[in-house]
């Protein structure tokens, strides 16, 4: 179980990690990076799957269904958009 | 099995962070997203083994169907959309994530409303907070999309807009707080709660001008991350907590960077509705007039220059003129002209928007320079070619303290010996502010669609 202060510690450490990871990003990669982090929160898909999996009533199932659909859209759309953008940055041209 | 799933979640959280790290360098960026993608697929597949998912096996088929539907729609749209429209697509995919987080909260809250035992207060509080943030991100992103897509053109502002927003936010928090702290949820209240939060997201985003949308999208991106993290606590899912928090904090930093580039505090962007209240400052008397130039004459000016600095803006993106620009660059360089690109941090609709487009056209990185690097070079350039940029080259940002954009760092295109501005019409920029650069003595206006205008320049140079 993750609870109380353990949760708080995880939250704090992850927040610092996020801050550090992005702080050295060149401006040219800002848009792809935003798109990439948009993809990363697509992990909400696993939560949506759990929510729908243990849905009991029709309403819960319906909301769960919409949730899973949206989450899958987030993940797949975020991935494809990011890859398309990054395809333009050919490593051979990289200098600065 | 549960142990295995935990291990997979742990590893995917590590890979996500590692992937984001790799995405911060052009060399490894591609690799980073692919790794993150693999981690996402594996995490999702293993989730099918989760006892909670298997709890009601009748739903398994529906889960698969929902994944297939969501993925298919997103895949097709993301593949088809033009590079220039990418910012609004990011907005919409992000909104979907926020909606999903809100949906997770909704399922949990509906369960409690239906008589299931209420979880601990902290869990309920986080579920409610995640619901508010996710729902606001969902409906707000939809409005951001509509604005960038041109579906909503005006900045809509009701009388007492701020008050109404504040009240709605207070109502949402009050209902949410009541549900969370009492642990008793009335189905009608729950419905009102979600309606109010969704409407709040719309109302919050409507008055924000299109020029500020990048900051807003970035903020919603960070918010979605936070919502995902909160729902991760509710579901006791470490991968969601870590990935969501990392996105939340990095997104917040990115939002700050963008707002800083515009030299406006985030609170200004969000609450001052910049685009609609600029009338007074723009009334100031402007000396001079706009002087037109023909493509051929402009071509000669550039062909005999020793240095040309190109300043692209959103107009270039709309006109898809980047490939033509690359062609122009090649022609000029054949004649021994040095060509450089000056990129304002907020040119276009997102930071790096111009860089992406120029990279698409095959422009070398080392010719694309930041504001700080290029500004000292303008006085030594014979020609600054402004294509579809407006507010980012408006000298009033330096000179007129009353102007809404006063203090914003700008590209000093006006300090070049000559400035040629390619522009579709005579109107003011996205912010609605008159641009004094267009009236300057050494500025010539080349009217027309960006792509056609550059094609004229190319034709002109070829004739020489």
Identify whether the C-beta of residue B63 lies closer than 8 Å to the C-beta of residue A49.
yes
Cα B34 from Cα A87, distance rounded (Å): 12
**Would the pLDDT of B116 be above 70?**
yes
Pick B241's closest partner by Cβ from A1, A10, A84.
Answer: A10
**Would the pLDDT of B406 be above 80?**
no
pLDDT of residue B428: 61
Cα B149 from Cα B146, distance rounded (Å): 5
Identify whether the C-beta of residue B387 lies closer than 8 Å to the C-beta of residue B450.
yes
**In chain B, where the domains are located:** 2-271, 295-463
**Would the pLDDT of A94 be above 70?**
no
Chain B window 16-55: which residues touch A at a Cβ cutoff of 8 Å?
16-17, 19-21, 23-27, 29-30, 32-34, 36-37, 40, 43-44, 47-48, 50, 52-55
Cα angle B307-B27-B389, degrees, rounded to a multiple of 5: 40
Residues B109-119, mean pLDDT to the nearest whole number: 89
- Complex ipTM: 0.91
- Per-residue pLDDT tens digits for B168-200: 999 999 999 999 999 888 999 999 999 999 999
Cα B151 from Cα B149, distance rounded (Å): 6
- Per-residue pLDDT tens digits for A47-91: 999 999 988 899 999 999 999 999 999 999 999 999 988 887 654
Residues B109-132, mean pLDDT to the nearest whole number: 91
Cα angle B372-B374-B378, degrees, rounded to a multiple of 5: 125
SS3 of A71-83: the string is: HHHHHHHHHHHHH
Identify whether the C-beta of residue B28 lies closer than 8 Å to the C-beta of residue B22.
yes
* β-strand pairing of B307-312 with B338-343: parallel
Backbone conformation region of residue B5, classed left if phi is above 0, alpha if psi is from -120 to 50, else beta = alpha
By CA distance, what is A78's nearest residue in B?
Answer: B93
Is the CB of B345 inside 8 Å of chain A's CB atoms?
Answer: yes
The H or E element spanning position B447 is strand B443-447
- φ, ψ (nearest 5 deg) of residue B441: -65, -35
Cα dihedral B34, B83, B135, A23 sign: positive
**Would the pLDDT of B278 be above 60?**
no
Is the CB of B225 inside 8 Å of chain A's CB atoms?
Answer: yes
pLDDT of residue B458: 93
pLDDT, averaged across chain B: 87
pLDDT, averaged across chain A: 85
Shortest distance between the Cα of B191 and any Cα of chain A, in A, equals 12
**Would the pLDDT of B260 be above 50?**
yes
pLDDT of residue B29: 87
pLDDT of residue B285: 58
**B133 or B114: whose pLDDT is higher?**
B133
pLDDT of residue B275: 42
pLDDT of residue B212: 77
Chain A window 38-77: which residues touch B at a Cβ cutoff of 8 Å?
38-57, 59-61, 63-77
The H or E element spanning position B423 is strand B418-423
Shortest distance between the Cα of B160 and any Cα of chain A, in A, equals 33
Pick B93's closest partner by Cβ from A81, A95, A96.
Answer: A81
Helix-strand-coil percent breakdown of chain B, rounded to 5?
Answer: 65, 5, 25
Contact residues on chain B for A95, CB-CB shorter than 8 A: 364-366
In chain B, how long is the greatest CA-to-CA distance?
A: 82
pLDDT of residue A1: 63
Q: What is the CATH number of domain B295-463?
A: 3.40.50.1220
User: Catalytic pick from B186, B212, B391, B414?
Assistant: B391
pLDDT of residue B287: 66
**B115 or B222: whose pLDDT is higher?**
B222
Chain B window 148-207: which residues touch A at a Cβ cutoff of 8 Å?
none
Asked if B414 is an active-site residue, the reply is: no
Residues B268-284, mean pLDDT to the nearest whole number: 52
pLDDT of residue B427: 64
**Would the pLDDT of A93 be above 60?**
no
Residues B22-34, mean pLDDT to the nearest whole number: 87
pLDDT of residue A95: 40
Is the CB of A15 inside 8 Å of chain B's CB atoms?
Answer: yes
CA B386 to chain centroid: 22
pLDDT of residue B47: 93
Cα B234 from Cα B130, distance rounded (Å): 9
Residues A9-23, mean pLDDT to the nearest whole number: 89
Q: How confident is the model at residue B276 (pLDDT cuts 50, 70, 90)?
A: very low
Q: How confident is the model at residue B248 (pLDDT cuts 50, 70, 90)?
A: very high
Is the CB of B356 inside 8 Å of chain A's CB atoms?
Answer: yes
Chain B window 85-124: which residues touch A at a Cβ cutoff of 8 Å?
86-87, 89-90, 92-94, 96-97, 99-104, 106-108, 110-111, 114, 122
Cα B338 from Cα B350, distance rounded (Å): 27
Q: How confident is the model at residue B263 (pLDDT cuts 50, 70, 90)?
A: low
**Would the pLDDT of B279 be above 70?**
no
CA distances from B270 to B7, B168, B204, B207, B208 (A): 41, 16, 8, 9, 7
Q: How confident is the model at residue B306 (pLDDT cuts 50, 70, 90)?
A: very high
Q: How confident is the model at residue B391 (pLDDT cuts 50, 70, 90)?
A: confident
């Amino acid at each position: 179980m993750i609870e109380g202060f353990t949760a708080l510690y995880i939250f704090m450490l992850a927040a610092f990690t996020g801050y550090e990871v992005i702080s050295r990003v060149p401006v040219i990669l800002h848009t792809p990076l935003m798109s990439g982090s948009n993809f990363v929160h697509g992990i909400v898909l696993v939560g949506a799957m759990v929510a729908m999996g243990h849905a009991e009533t029709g309403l819960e199932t319906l909301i769960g269904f919409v949730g899973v659909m949206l989450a899958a859209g987030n993940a797949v759309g975020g991935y494809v958009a990011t890859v398309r953008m990054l395809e333009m940055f050919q490593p051979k041209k990289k200098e600065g | 099995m549960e142990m295995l799933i935990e291990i997979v979640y742990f590893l995917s959280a590590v890979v996500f962070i590692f992937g984001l790290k790799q995405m911060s360098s052009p060399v490894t960026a591609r690799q980073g997203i692919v790794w993150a993608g693999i981690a996402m697929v594996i995490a999702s597949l293993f989730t099918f083994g989760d006892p909670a998912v298997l709890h009601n096996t009748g739903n398994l088929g529906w889960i698969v169907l929902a994944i297939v539907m969501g993925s298919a729609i997103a895949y097709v749209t993301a593949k088809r959309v033009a590079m220039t429209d990418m910012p609004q697509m990011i907005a919409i995919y992000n909104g979907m994530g926020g909606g999903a987080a809100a949906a997770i909260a909704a399922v949990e809250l509906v369960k409690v409303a239906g008589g299931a035992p209420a979880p601990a207060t902290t869990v309920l509080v986080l579920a409610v907070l995640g619901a508010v943030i996710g729902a606001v991100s969902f409906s707000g992103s939809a409005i951001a999309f509509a604005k960038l897509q041109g579906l909503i053109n005006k900045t809509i502002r009701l009388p007492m807009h701020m008050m109404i927003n504040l009240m709605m936010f207070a109502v949402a928090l009050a209902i949410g707080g009541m549900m969370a702290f009492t642990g008793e949820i009335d189905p009608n209240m729950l419905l009102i709660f979600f309606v109010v939060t969704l409407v709040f997201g719309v109302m919050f985003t409507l008055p924000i001008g299109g020029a500020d949308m990048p900051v807003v999208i970035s903020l919603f991106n960070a918010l979605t991350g936070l919502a995902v993290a909160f729902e991760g606590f509710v579901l006791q899912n470490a991968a969601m907590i870590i990935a969501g928090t990392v996105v939340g904090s990095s997104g917040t930093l990115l939002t700050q960077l963008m707002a800083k580039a515009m030299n406006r505090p985030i609170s200004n962007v969000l609450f001052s509705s910049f685009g609609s209240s600029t009338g007074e400052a723009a009334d100031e008397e402007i000396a001079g007039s706009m002087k037109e130039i023909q493509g051929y004459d402009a071509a000669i000016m550039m062909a005999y220059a020793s240095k040309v600095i190109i300043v692209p803006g959103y107009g270039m993106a709309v006109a898809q003129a980047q490939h033509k620009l690359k062609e122009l660059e090649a022609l000029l360089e054949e004649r021994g002209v040095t060509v450089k690109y000056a990129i304002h941090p907020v040119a276009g609709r997102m930071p790096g928007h111009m860089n992406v487009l120029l990279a698409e056209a095959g422009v070398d990185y080392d010719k694309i320079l930041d504001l700080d690097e290029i500004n000292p070079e303008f006085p030594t350039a014979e020609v600054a070619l402004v294509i579809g940029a407006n507010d980012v080259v408006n000298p009033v940002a330096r000179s007129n303290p009353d102007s809404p954009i006063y203090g914003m760092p700008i590209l000093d295109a006006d300090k070049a010996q000559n400035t040629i501005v390619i522009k579709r019409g005579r109107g003011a920029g996205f912010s609605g502010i008159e641009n004094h650069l267009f009236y300057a003595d050494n500025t010539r206006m080349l009217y027309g669609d960006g792509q056609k205008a550059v094609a004229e320049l190319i034709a002109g140079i070829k004739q020489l």
